[in-house]
Amino acid sequence: MSDGLPIPVGVATNDILLDVNDLVVHFPVGRRGLFGAPSKVHAVDGVSFRVRRGTTFGIVGESGSGKSTTAQAVMRLIPSTSGQIVFDGENIADYRGEKLRLARAKFQIVFQDPFSALDPRRRAGELIREPLDLLGIGTPRERDARVKKLLAEVGLPPQVADLFPHQFSGGQRQRLCIARAMAPEPDLIVCDEAVSALDVAIQAQILNLLKKLQRERGLTYIFISHDLGVIQHFCDEIAVMYLGKIVEQAPSSVFFSAPTHPYSWSLIAAAAPPGPLRDRLKKNYLVKGDPPSPVDPPPGCRFAQRCPFVLERCRNELPTLHAGTDNHFVACHRTGEIQTPHLHDEAARI
């Protein structure tokens, strides 16, 4: 196990399926000027978190915060610059070649857009069976049987195995993507904005399906979203990302009753339904403007230029995640100094 965040109170070490420690993903973007130093995009900049078996870990933040890059690095779809990705006791950040290919059976991903995630030239049954063929799982007859079983588990009749993706609705295509992700029987599934391209009614159906599969199979999820309402009702623990860093992390009930970081307050203010709660939150906590560029960001707190509570220290000194009560972590120099909007039961309406 790595030396990142402390193990949550009441959680055994062997209950941790995924342990990400100081993950960094930088992308070079050339030099500033003819003789300038090389610049790089700080897409993910020292992220650490742990995911318990059988739970859902949510990562939320606005576009450009580094959510999807974190997910793709964890899945080894893009290279990480440094850091550990310890999956079930093994640092998969060091895996290469055949070892990595075989390990992929244990962690799978469902992407945002079910329209582009499926090869339009292949039938549904072939798409679900593809990971079984690539990983050499089972005999041909066993693979066919598993495809039929998976279709039933995601709520589709077996005869749709012969249809092409264009013959399905958006929600049905996402069900196919979920079935394909489950085919090699993974322990971890990353859902990268998996419901954001669907209308609200279909979103609810897909979320209910994911919860059902989690109960039946003991699945562990990382759920990436910009929708705080979906995160609240689907996730057991939440990490808030801003410009490549986690600024707050807590169990869902703790986070939504007493968010601590000013950026978290702004997200909740933006997500609250119309009414007195939203008016109060927007007046006091909603921030405006865009984040600074992730190319060579400033030395202090990444949120400093938008924070209504900024001090000179915030502009010059980068805060680190520190632990509070109830497994609540926050990266803010002014924790405890400024009034926190304790939402309690009001947060249930987000």
Mean pLDDT of the residues in the chain: 88
pLDDT for residue 165 = 94
Q: What is the pLDDT of residue 10?
A: 53
- Residue 39 one-letter amino acid: S
Question: With contact defined as beta carbons under 8 Å apart, do 117 and 62 qualify?
Answer: no
* Per-residue pLDDT at 270: 80
pLDDT reported for residue 342: 57
Amino acid identity, residue 96?
R
Prediction pTM value: 0.89
- Asked if 334 and 311 count as a contact pair (C-beta separation under 8 A), the reply is yes
> Which is nearest to 179 in space by CA: 161, 196, 198?
161
- Kindly state the average pLDDT of the residues 324-330: 87
Q: What is the pLDDT of residue 69?
A: 95
Average pLDDT, integer, range 223-249: 93
Helices (H) and strands (E) counted in the chain, each on its own, are: 11, 12
Residue range 262-285: average pLDDT?
A: 79
Lowest mean pLDDT across 46-55, 190-199, 272-281, 298-307: 272-281
Rounded distance, CA 155 to CA 145, Å? Answer: 16
Question: Among 125-139, 184-198, 291-305, whose mean pLDDT is lowest?
Answer: 291-305
Question: Is the model's pLDDT at 20 over the cut of 90?
Answer: yes
CA distance linking residue 34 with residue 57, whole number of Å: 44
> Across the strands, what pairs with 24?
45, 82
Q: Examine the pLDDT at 263 and tell me if it is beyond 80.
A: yes
Annotated domain spans of the chain = 259-350
More confident residue, 290 or 211: 211
CA distance 59 to 182: 21
pLDDT for position 279? 75
pLDDT at 341: 60
Which pLDDT tens digit goes with each residue over 166-217?
A: 999 999 999 999 999 999 999 999 999 988 878 888 899 999 999 999 999 9
Return the pLDDT at 3. 44
Sign of CA dihedral 149, 154, 156, 161: negative
Query: Which pLDDT tens digit goes with each residue over 68-117?
Result: 999 999 999 999 999 999 999 999 999 999 999 999 999 999 998 888 88
Instruction: Give the pLDDT of residue 97.
Output: 92
pLDDT at residue 11, as a whole number? 56
What is the pLDDT confidence band of residue 322, given thresholds at 50, 70 and 90? confident
Statement: residue 1 has pLDDT above 60: no
Ranked by mean pLDDT, the top range of 27-36, 154-163, 262-271, 283-292 is 154-163
End-to-end CA distance of the chain: 36
Task: Please check the confidence at residue 42 and state whether its pLDDT lies above 50.
Answer: yes
- Which of 30-44, 50-64, 298-312 has the largest mean confidence? 50-64
